[in-house]
Amino acid sequence: MPRRPRLQLAGTPLHVTQRGVNRCAIFVDDLDRSRFYELLCETMTEHDIAVHAYVFMGNHVHLLLTPVDRDAVSRAMRNVGQCYVQAFNKRHRRSGTLWQGRFKSCLVDTDRYLMTVYRYIELNPVRAAMVALPEQYRWSSVHANLDLSGDRLVNPHPVFLAQDRDPQTRAACYRAWLREGVGEDELTSIRAHLEQERALGDAKFQAMIEKALGRPAHVRNRGRPRRADRPLDEA
């Protein structure tokens, strides 16, 4: 069965996650993380993709990206994935696949939803009980977004910059936003849209995506819908 084309649009943010096969570790130590970071810096620059937020966990990564070209993220993630697996296998004297299939992704509406995904990504280490505060975790964009240190991988989205013109005030606003945490409904929604690779946003945004790409953009309930409830394009 052929793979379903991804929902991707030039200039529209994309939430991306990649997991290790069988949830195995994709990073053994900081040398591995440094290698992955360098590959991302090189590849995202080469493909003209802006990285707004990221976190490297033990067995998966999250990225918030905006490509200039529609298919750039697919090409970039393929290049990063292949190069990283080769380096990882050589260093750790192993063979075979490292990734659990292809990466997952969902489009993100810049109106309200974008900042929620920022927060979701950078609070991953806190939800995993690895740290008490997101800035205590090294391998995350949170340090750049809180104006604590520079990060050549991070390119803030205009919506993020619109919080305030002053970097310190903007950082304080974002810190307060992080401290609010992610609600259960937000967690469920983000995870469902990512798992089904749909468009995270309001009904107007999803309708625009469906019209532009000719594919469903909303999350479907589990199980096959009754015939009367099926969308016309899926009947």
Architecture of domain 14-205 in this structure: 2-Layer Sandwich (3.30)
Taking only the tens place, the pLDDT of each residue in 188-228 is 999 999 999 999 999 999 999 999 999 899 998 765 544 44
Is the distance from CB of 177 to CB of 160 less than 8 angstroms? Answer: no
**pLDDT at res. 6:** 84
Q: SS3 of 140, please?
A: strand
Tens of pLDDT, residues 37-88:
999 999 999 999 999 999 999 999 999 999 999 999 999 999 999 999 999 9
113-122 and 167-180 are packed helices; what angle lies between their axes, rounded to 10 degrees?
80
Size (the chain), residues: 235
Token pair 């995270």 in the structure block, residue: 200
d(CA 144, CA 51): 12
Q: Please, how many CA atoms are within 13 Å of residue 38, restricted to the half-sphere of its CB?
A: 9
**Least confident interval from 108-117, 142-151, 161-170, 225-234:** 225-234
- Split at pLDDT 50, 70, 90, the class of 3 is low
What is the domain partition of the chain in residue ranges?
Answer: 14-205
- CA dist 74 and 104 (Å) reads 10
Angle at 113 between CA 108 and CA 117, to 5 degrees: 80
For 116, 119, 190, 220, the CA distances from 185, given in Å and listed in that order, are 12, 14, 9, 16
Decide: 49 and 72 in contact? Cβ < 8 Å: yes
Query: Rounded mean pLDDT of 174-179?
Result: 97
Q: 201: closest CA among 104, 123, 103, 116?
A: 116
What number is the average pLDDT over the span 137-165? Answer: 97
| 94-133 tens-digit pLDDT | 999 999 989 999 999 998 899 999 999 999 999 999 999 9
* The predicted structure's pLDDT at residue 112: 85
* pLDDT at res. 232: 30
* Whole-angstrom distance, CA of residue 197 vs CA of residue 222: 14
Give the CA dihedral 55, 60, 65, 70, nearest 10 degrees. 170
Tokens 């130590």 correspond to: 29
Q: What predicted TM-score, i.e. pTM, was given to this entire model?
A: 0.91
DSSP class of residue 154 equals B
| φ/ψ of residue 30, rounded to 5 | -70, -20
Give the model's pLDDT for residue 234. Answer: 35
At residue 5 the predicted structure's pLDDT band, cuts being 50, 70 and 90, is confident
Pairwise CA distance, residues 152 & 36, whole Å: 14
Amino acid letter at 6?
A: R
